[in-house]
Amino acid sequence: MRQRNVHTSVARRVAGIAAAAALAVAVGAPGGTAGAGPARPAEVKIGIVTFLSGPAAAPFGIPARNAAEVLIDEINAGRAPAPYNQRGIAGVPIRVVYVDEAGGADRQVAEFRRLVLDERVDLVIGYISSADCLAVAPVAEELRALLVMFDCGTNQIFEERSYRYVFRTHGHQILDNVGAARYILRIKPEIASIAGINQNYAWGQDSWRDFRDSVRRLKPDVRVMGEHFPPLFGGEYSAQISALLGARPEVVHTSFWGGDLESFLIQQLPRRLYERSTLVLTTGDTVLPRLGRNMIPGVVVGARGPHGALAPNVPLNRWFREVYARRFNVRPVYPSYHMSQAIFGVKTAYERAQRQVGGWPTREQVIDAFRGITFDTPSGPIRMALGRGHQAIEPVAYGITSRFNTATGEYDLTRVVVFPAECVNPPEGMTSADWIAQGFPGARCP
């Protein structure tokens, strides 16, 4: 009996020591959790997809890649300002795999599968082209892979489907075009005619429709003098410029971007379309530093939000412009700001999830933390307010080119107006088309 008691006592002590050791390992190990969550990883691996070749690379893709490069270096070094001053993501360094967006939607679907299944990235931040976003989003849902769209603009993503694994951390095209309509009617209240030249795919068609319908909803007697849809990356617009010169609309709207926008502006210069019609460029911020003196005065310029030349003078923006310009010797344009929103949104969601679960979060926990959050960016606060918390809203700003500034090497923007997010975005549960058709119910504008 005594011998059995000794064995029992020893066994209990051994079991107690083992349990204590196990608890110590769970609590004390780097990133250990008190629960059954995943172990703290050695890195957070992010696939970043943007145009690295082709006509959209220089004005859009490379500035976005540059923003990712400098921001992730600063974040990994712990040099970003609060609230982003914790190294990496919750102390775990970020590593990036860059992928070229060139090649079309089918290629991007294949590349997305490769990033998720072969590279085994933790998430993908990507896509400038709306066509690529529309093609990849269902695949992210199928693979249960976290996808953060950083720049594409079509409103179809969350107005026509619901997603769990897909987020977009910037406003979609509705803010660009409702904002442009409100701006042009503010500076030209007696306007009588408009026309459009937009690329022939989802982005161009959606943008023109919402600008045209917004203008006519706000001023029903405005006439439409032409609707032109040349192919994406067409590069040659003499026929459309001739038609616009002949129709003589007071305003010409375009959502052209990248090389298409620069080609159109350069080709219309000798024929002086800009003297007959006020040009409205919803993506115009990107061409200001690139065209320099070849830009023209009197052109309405947008930045797809309060970004680039229209960004607010706040500490986080001043820091972002400084670190970006120091490395690349040029100011960041709006795709760079969109990339910053995606990176700061991801960091906020991961660190929020990590605090909520008390250890390293699962992908599902990150998604739950991401939904509906508000976070700071160089352009001001971003709210994930549409698409059941998966789609951001933000304000939009417009200005008009005035005089060439030799200090900055680009035209200054004057008569700047910032329209709040509640003025240029539909409420949750309403599509852009219905919101415009019903006269912008719930809009709060200055």
Over residues 322-362, the pLDDT tens digits come to: 999 999 999 999 999 999 999 999 999 999 999 999 999 99
Q: Is the pLDDT of residue 418 over 50?
A: yes
pLDDT of 125: 98
31 has a pLDDT exceeding 70: no
pLDDT on residue 271? 96
- Compute the average pLDDT of residues 384-390: 97
Confidence of residue 11 (pLDDT cuts 50, 70, 90): very low
With 50 as the cut, is the pLDDT of residue 29 above it?
no
Q: Which of 206, 409, 201, 178 is nearest to 280 (CA)?
A: 178
pLDDT band at 126 (very low <50, low <70, confident <90, very high): very high
**pLDDT range class, residue 202, cuts 50, 70, 90:** confident
Q: What is the mean pLDDT of residues 102-110?
A: 96
Confidence check: pLDDT of 26 > 70:
no
Q: Are 363 and 299 in contact (CB under 8 A)?
A: no
Is the confidence at residue 34, as pLDDT, over 80?
no
- In this prediction, residues 109-129 reach a mean pLDDT of 97
Q: What are phi and psi of 399, to 5 degrees?
A: -145, 180
Q: What angle do CA 92, 97, 102 make, to 5 degrees?
A: 150
Which residues make beta-bridge pairs with 279?
252
Per-residue burial over 83-92, b if 16 or more Cβ lie within 10 Å, else e, is ebebebbbeb
Q: What angle do CA 351, 356, 357 make, to 5 degrees?
A: 100
- Short-list 273, 280, 323, CA closest to 299: 280
Q: Residue 16: which pLDDT band, with cuts at 50, 70 and 90?
A: very low
**If you average pLDDT over residues 200-217, what whole number do you get?**
94
pLDDT at 7: 42
Q: Is 79 left (phi over 0), alpha (psi -120 to 50) or beta?
A: alpha
The pLDDT score that the predictor gives to residue 27 is 35
- The percentage of residues in the chain with a pLDDT greater than 90, rounded to a whole number, is 86
Contact 47, 123 (CB under 8 A): yes
pLDDT computed for residue 24 by the predictor: 36
Please give the pLDDT value at position 232: 85
Q: Which amino acid is at 39?
A: A
CA distances from 419 to 188, 304, 393 (A): 17, 12, 12
Angle among Cα 350, 352, 357 to the nearest 5 degrees reads 95
DSSP state of 311: -
Query: How large is the average pLDDT for residues 227-232?
Result: 94
Strand partners, 92: 89
Return mean pLDDT, the chain.
92
Count CA atoms within 13 Å of residue 415 on its CB side: 15
State whether residue 207 is helix, strand or coil: helix
Query: Which residues, in sequence order, are CB contacts of 25 under 8 Å at separation 6+?
Result: 32
Point out which residues pair with 411 in neighbouring strands. Answer: 404
In whole angstroms, give the CA distance from residue 149 to residue 172.
Answer: 11
- 64 within 8 A of 336, measured Cβ to Cβ: yes
- Mean pLDDT value of segment 153-163: 93
Residue 18 in this model has a pLDDT that exceeds 60: no
The pTM score is: 0.89
CA–CA distance, 149 with 156 (Å, rounded to integer): 13
Under 8 Å CB-to-CB from 200, ≥6 apart: which residues? 229, 230, 231, 232
Sheet arrangement for strand 223-228: 223-228, 193-197, 251-254, 278-281, 300-302, 396-405, 410-419
What single letter denotes the amino acid at residue 435? W
The total of other beta-carbon atoms located within 10 Å of residue 112's CB is 26
pLDDT number for residue 148: 98
Distances (CA, A) of 295 to 199, 328, 377: 21, 22, 29
Classify each residue of 224-236 as buried b or exposed e, where b means 16 or more C-beta atoms within 10 Å of its C-beta. Answer: ebbebbbebebee
Q: Is 400 within 8 Å of 301 (Cβ atoms)?
A: yes
Residue 203: pLDDT band with limits 50, 70, 90: confident
Q: d(Cα 102, Cα 54) in Å, to the nearest integer? A: 7
Mean per-residue pLDDT, 134-163: 96
Task: Enter the tokens of residue 274.
Answer: 């800009």
Say whether 51 sits in a helix, a strand or coil: coil
Residue 372 neighbours by CB distance under 10 Å: 12
Written as one letter, the residue type at 59 is P
Would you call 132 exposed, middle or buried from its count of C-beta atoms within 10 A (0-12, 13-18, 19+)?
A: buried
Confidence of residue 35 (pLDDT cuts 50, 70, 90): low
pLDDT confidence tier of residue 36, bands split at 50, 70 and 90: low
pLDDT at 12 over 70: no
- Stretch 415-430: mean pLDDT, rounded? 96
Backbone CA torsion sign across 411, 414, 420, 426: negative
Kindly tell me if the per-residue pLDDT of 21 is higher than 50.
Answer: no
Under DSSP, is residue 328 helix (H, G, I), strand (E, B) or coil?
helix
**Does residue 25 carry a pLDDT above 90?**
no
Mean pLDDT on 293-299: 95
Radius of gyration (C-alpha) of the chain in whole angstroms: 25
pLDDT above 50: residue 62? yes
The β-bridge relationship of strands 374-375 and 382-386 is: antiparallel
